[in-house]
């Protein structure tokens, strides 16, 4: 899942978007809103688009030093088909090609070897860019195209042939915004050097420079007559500038950097910022002189330092409007996150300052803390727990994107009892990645089994949850081969533990690619059971359908277990022991207790000589807490009373370990060495 960097509307009902996933997509926004085509010609992020008003021509540019010119009318016609398309279901119909890539409807993209395709549509490249492209503009009739980027220059092209016409130099930093007049005679450019420049393409030179902003200029919009320009940028400001008189007026001041400007007729202008809300402001080109007098206008200079100096001297202009006329509110995006130590919870902070804790394995909020300090809350929630990193995540889109990659996603295990699984035995271990995949694909698995058994369709999202009762039915037998019960759609194997049940009201979207195809995206509840290895990764199908996990790193922890210094006690073993990393210390206590027969106190009348070496007897003495001679246990000593059974303590680095700690936690937070873990045990009287 990647950012959408630009959108344009072309024709009567086609919207084109570009993204950091290197694709262009076409949509039908006024009908079903579905993606109709996906084009994968770019080799890197696609950053900008430009569409001709009276033509089907669209240009795209990106970080790969590429500009492509598309004839959408020709591009969306299916001119070639993959060799295996006849065998594909409805989700793969209507594919067309772009170069050597196959473009598929329903938001699916299928890569096809070039030798299996007839010759199809390929966009026209505008070759010659030496650096990344961040801005494009095209005139109404698609006869002039301009591009700009990190080259600090404006390049001019003929979009009909892809040939370069000229290169205009003058900016001293990245070109971030471009505009052409309808005839393609004049060009406006905005740059990170804080300047707006007006170019005469016939004369091939800059005819005016406008020092309006105090920071980077990121957005431009002009009136139909091209007599005035609206500009916005990193300084949060939107200015209106008369290109003839150079008179500039601060129209409004936003709270975030301005990304895009769009005029609505002659009366309104929409402003998009780095915030998620859209603001509508009055446009004042035709405002009366009295209205303009309410704001402090200024004459734009031709050098950026003059504008900066005026701002420092206290002559900053006053905005004409202080409140937008209307607002289209957006959701507050996530701007900060931290993965907690248990690797099942994530702490997030959104743009409104709200801090929440999410349970990743359910995709749900477990706690809403409101507006609190993020760092302090993270410290408060710290737990001394060590768990392998079985997923990665980012919040670039303002939402959580969780990435599962094999074999890393199968590296973490947890005891079912720790998740409060109803009826789970104390020994049952769950692989967190496997159970999360089962939760995500529960609807797919249920429908697949229903189809195999000839059962009628099941409503979306009706995958069976595990009931809250019925002890014993979810024990280790759950881990059997699924194929043995393929024709039982309501079998326990299709059910999901409560800690891994995702919402069907707001289901997560799954983005992946199959072994024979490109990336695709669907909501978890939209999976219908027909998706197979061509759509889903093979390792994912092996995990969910066949209970086979990819080869992963050793989940065992090696350690030595010796008597604590000063204890005359039986040595259980001289060798190295091995146990799951999630094994709790209380299990090791039980192991020691069992080996030393501490569970069975000696009879008071038992002769001392008959006591076995494993029957240890306590003798309390004054101690210093570290065990050096403080507690002495010898075979053959007098037994302990029934109400004073000895207690086993496990130590690491002279620190008594809490029973709930795991071996992995002890190794990470107490042992802190790369060598094998050393644990010691001692026996102390009950308190």
At 40-78, the pLDDT tens digits run 899 999 999 999 999 899 999 999 999 999 998 887 664
Q: Are residues 380 and 469 in the same domain?
A: no
Largest CA distance in the chain: 116
> What CATH number has the domain bearing residue 174?
2.130.10.10
Q: Are residues 519 and 629 in the same domain?
A: no
- The predicted pLDDT at position 530 comes to 85
> Does residue 83 lie in a domain region?
no
> Does residue 30 lie in a domain region?
no
Question: What does the alpha-carbon distance between residue 131 and residue 579 come to, in Å, rounded to a whole number?
Answer: 55
Question: Which residues are registered as beta bridge partners of 221?
Answer: 230
Using the CB atoms, write b or e for 298-315: b if 16+ within 10 Å: bebbeebeebbebeeeee
The HSE-up count of residue 462 (CA atoms within 13 Å, CB side) is 10
pLDDT digits (tens, 9 = 90+) for 482-507: 334 333 434 455 578 899 999 888 89
> Does residue 320 lie in a domain region?
yes
> Does residue 498 lie in a domain region?
yes
Q: What is the separation of C-alpha 399 from the centre of its chain, rounded to a whole number of angstroms? A: 7
pLDDT digits (tens, 9 = 90+) for 424-465: 888 899 999 999 999 999 989 888 888 777 655 455 544 444
At residue 499, the 3 state secondary structure works out as helix
Q: Are residues 540 and 568 in the same domain?
A: no
Residue 4: what are its φ and ψ, rounded to 5°?
Answer: -90, 120
Domain that holds residue 371: 334-402
The HSE-up count of residue 326 (CA atoms within 13 Å, CB side) is 4
Using the CB atoms, write b or e for 540-577: b if 16+ within 10 Å: bbebbbebebbebeebebebebebbebbebbebeeeeb
Domain boundary among 280, 309, 327: 327
Question: What does the alpha-carbon distance between residue 191 and residue 457 come to, in Å, rounded to a whole number?
Answer: 57
Element (H, E) at 684: strand 677-684
Q: Are residues 471 and 580 in the same domain?
A: no
The HSE-up count of residue 674 (CA atoms within 13 Å, CB side) is 0
Domain boundary among 514, 546, 578: 546
DSSP-derived secondary structure letter, 671 = I
DSSP E strands, 432-538: 509-513, 519-523
DSSP-derived secondary structure letter, 669 = I
Q: Which of 11-25, 277-291, 492-506 reaches the highest mean pLDDT?
A: 11-25
Q: Are residues 249 and 310 in the same domain?
A: yes
> Could you tell me if 372 and 378 are in contact, meaning their C-beta atoms sit under 8 angstroms apart?
no
Question: What does the alpha-carbon distance between residue 165 and residue 466 come to, in Å, rounded to a whole number?
Answer: 68
Domain boundary among 402, 429, 445: 402
Residue 594: what are its φ and ψ, rounded to 5°?
Answer: -70, -45
Least confident of 122-126, 327-331, 620-624: 620-624
Give the sign of the dihedral formed by CA 363, CA 366, CA 372, CA 378: negative
Question: What does the alpha-carbon distance between residue 87 and residue 81 come to, in Å, rounded to a whole number?
Answer: 12
User: Strand 556-563 and strand 677-684: pairing?
Assistant: parallel
Total count of domains within the chain? 4
Question: What does the alpha-carbon distance between residue 211 and residue 215 come to, in Å, rounded to a whole number?
Answer: 10
Mean pLDDT value across residues 280-305? 68
Residues 6+ apart with CB under 8 A from 651: 564, 627, 657, 679, 680, 681, 682
Q: Are residues 266 and 140 in the same domain?
A: yes
Q: State both tokens at 166.
A: 């000229």
Q: State both tokens at 254.
A: 């936003």
Residue 127: what are its φ and ψ, rounded to 5°?
Answer: -85, 145
Mean pLDDT value across residues 17-44? 89
Q: What percent of the chain has pLDDT over 90?
A: 52
**Nearest-CA neighbor of 557 among 577, 535, 575, 531?**
577
Q: Are residues 608 and 474 in the same domain?
A: no
> Does residue 33 lie in a domain region?
no
> Could you tell me if 296 and 347 are in contact, meaning their C-beta atoms sit under 8 angstroms apart?
no
- The predicted pLDDT at position 552 comes to 73
Question: Which residues are registered as beta bridge partners of 679?
Answer: 561
pLDDT band at 91 (very low <50, low <70, confident <90, very high): very low
Q: Are residues 345 and 316 in the same domain?
A: no
Q: Are residues 443 and 485 in the same domain?
A: yes
DSSP-derived secondary structure letter, 566 = T
Q: Is 42 exposed, middle or buried (0-12, 13-18, 19+ CB in 10 A)?
A: buried
At residue 278, the 3 state secondary structure works out as strand
Residues 6+ apart with CB under 8 A from 288: none
Mean pLDDT value across residues 307-325? 73
Q: State both tokens at 111.
A: 């890569």
- The predicted pLDDT at position 615 comes to 31
Q: Are residues 473 and 592 in the same domain?
A: no
The pTM for the full model equals 0.72
Q: Are residues 143 and 220 in the same domain?
A: yes
pLDDT band at 324 (very low <50, low <70, confident <90, very high): very high
**Nearest-CA neighbor of 273 among 262, 261, 259, 252?**
259
Residues 6+ apart with CB under 8 A from 219: 177, 190, 231, 232, 233, 258, 259, 260, 261
Q: Are residues 427 and 512 in the same domain?
A: yes
pLDDT digits (tens, 9 = 90+) for 240-259: 999 999 999 999 999 999 99
Bond from prior residue into 407 cis (ω within 30 degrees of 0):
yes
**Nearest-CA neighbor of 58 among 17, 108, 100?**
17
Q: State both tokens at 96.
A: 């067309």
> What CATH number has the domain bearing residue 595?
3.10.20.90
| Beta carbons within 10 angstroms of residue 629's beta carbon | 14
Element (H, E) at 147: strand 145-149
> Could you tell me if 74 and 58 are in contact, meaning their C-beta atoms sit under 8 angstroms apart?
no
DSSP E strands, 265-351: 268-273, 278-282, 298-299, 326-328, 334-339, 345-350
> Does residue 103 lie in a domain region?
no
> Does residue 299 lie in a domain region?
yes
Question: What does the alpha-carbon distance between residue 428 and residue 442 come to, in Å, rounded to a whole number?
Answer: 21
pLDDT band at 362 (very low <50, low <70, confident <90, very high): very high
Question: What does the alpha-carbon distance between residue 682 and residue 531 come to, in Å, rounded to a whole number?
Answer: 57
Question: What does the alpha-carbon distance between residue 349 and residue 170 come to, in Å, rounded to a whole number?
Answer: 42
- The predicted pLDDT at position 162 comes to 93
Q: Rounded to the nearest 5 degrees, what angle is found at the Cα of 552, between the Cα atoms of 550 and 553?
A: 175
Question: What does the alpha-carbon distance between residue 594 and residue 324 come to, in Å, rounded to a whole number?
Answer: 75
Which residue, chain included where needed, has tokens 């492209």? Answer: 133
Q: State both tokens at 534.
A: 């061509």
> Does residue 246 lie in a domain region?
yes
């Amino acid at each position: 899942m990647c950012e959408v960097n630009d959108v344009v509307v072309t024709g009567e009902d086609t919207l084109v978007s570009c993204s950091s996933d290197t694709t262009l997509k076409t949509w039908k926004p006024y009908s079903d809103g579905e993606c109709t085509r996906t084009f994968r010609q770019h080799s890197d992020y696609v950053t900008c688009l430009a569409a001709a008003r009276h033509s089907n021509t669209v240009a795209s540019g990106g970080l790969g030093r590429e500009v492509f010119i598309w004839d959408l009318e020709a591009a969306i016609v299916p001119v070639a088909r993959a060799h295996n398309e006849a065998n594909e279901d409805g989700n793969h119909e209507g594919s067309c090609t772009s170069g050597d890539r196959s473009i598929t409807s329903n938001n699916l993209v299928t890569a096809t070897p070039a030798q299996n395709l007839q010759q199809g549509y390929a966009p026209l490249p505008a070759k010659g860019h030496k650096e990344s492209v961040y801005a494009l503009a095209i005139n109404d009739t698609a006869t002039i195209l301009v591009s700009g980027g990190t080259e600090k220059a404006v390049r001019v092209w003929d979009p009909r042939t892809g040939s370069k016409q000229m290169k205009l130099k003058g900016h001293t930093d990245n070109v971030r915004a471009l505009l052409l007049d309808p005839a393609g005679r004049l060009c406006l450019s905005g740059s990170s050097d804080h300047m707006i420049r007006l170019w005469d393409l016939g004369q091939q030179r800059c005819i005016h420079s406008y020092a309006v902003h105090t920071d980077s200029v990121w957005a431009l919009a002009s009136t139909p007559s091209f007599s005035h320009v609206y500009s916005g940028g990193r300084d949060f400001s939107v200015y209106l500038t008369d290109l003839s008189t150079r008179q500039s007026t601060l129209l409004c001041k936003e709270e975030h950097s301005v990304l895009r400007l769009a005029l609505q007729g002659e009366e309104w202008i929409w402003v998009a910022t780095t915030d998620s809300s859209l603001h509508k402001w009055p446009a004042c080109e035709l405002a009366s002189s009295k209205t303009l007098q309410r704001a402090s206008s200024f004459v734009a200079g031709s050098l950026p330092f003059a504008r900066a100096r005026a701002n420092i001297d206290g002559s900053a202009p006053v905005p004409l409007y202080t409140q937008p006329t209307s607002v289209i509110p957006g959701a507050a995006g996530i701007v900060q996150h931290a993965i907690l130590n248990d690797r099942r919870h994530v702490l997030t902070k959104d743009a409104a300052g709200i801090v929440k804790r999410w349970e990743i394995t359910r995709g749900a909020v477990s706690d809403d803390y409101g507006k609190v300090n993020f760092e302090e809350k993270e410290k408060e929630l710290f737990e001394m727990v060590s768990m392998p990193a079985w997923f990665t995540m980012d919040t670039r889109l303002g939402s959580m994107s969780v990435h599962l990659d094999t074999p890393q996603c199968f590296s973490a295990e947890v005891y079912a009892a720790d998740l409060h699984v109803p009826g789970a035995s104390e020994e049952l271990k769950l692989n967190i990645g496997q159970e999360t995949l089962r939760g995500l694909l529960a609807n797919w698995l249920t429908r697949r089994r229903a189809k195999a058994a000839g059962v009628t369709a099941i409503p979306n999202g009706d995958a069976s949850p595990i009931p809250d009762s019925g002890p014993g039915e979810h024990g280790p037998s759950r881990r059997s081969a699924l194929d043995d019960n393929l024709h039982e759609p309501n079998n326990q194997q299709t059910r999901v533990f409560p800690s891994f049940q995702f919402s069907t009201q707001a289901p997560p979207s799954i983005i992946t690619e199959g072994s024979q195809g490109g990336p695709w995206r669907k909501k978890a509840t939209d999976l219908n059971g027909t998706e197979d290895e061509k759509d889903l990764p093979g390792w994912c199908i092996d995990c969910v359908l066949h209970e086979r996990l990819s080869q992963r790193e050793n989940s065992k922890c090696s350690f030595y277990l010796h008597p604590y210094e000063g204890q005359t006690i039986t040595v259980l073993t001289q060798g190295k022991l091995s146990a799951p990393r999630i094994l709790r210390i209380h299990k090791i206590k039980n192991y020691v207790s069992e080996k030393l027969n501490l569970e069975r106190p000696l009879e008071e009348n038992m002769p001392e000589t008959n006591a076995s070496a494993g029957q240890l007897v306590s003798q309390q003495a004054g101690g210093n807490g570290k065990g050096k001679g403080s507690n002495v246990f010898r075979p053959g000593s007098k037994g302990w009373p029934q109400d004073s059974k000895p207690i086993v303590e496990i130590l690491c680095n002279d620190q008594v370990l809490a029973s709930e700690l795991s071996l992995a936690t002890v190794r990470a937070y107490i042992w802190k060495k790369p060598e094998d873990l050393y644990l010691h045990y001692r026996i102390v009287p009950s308190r």
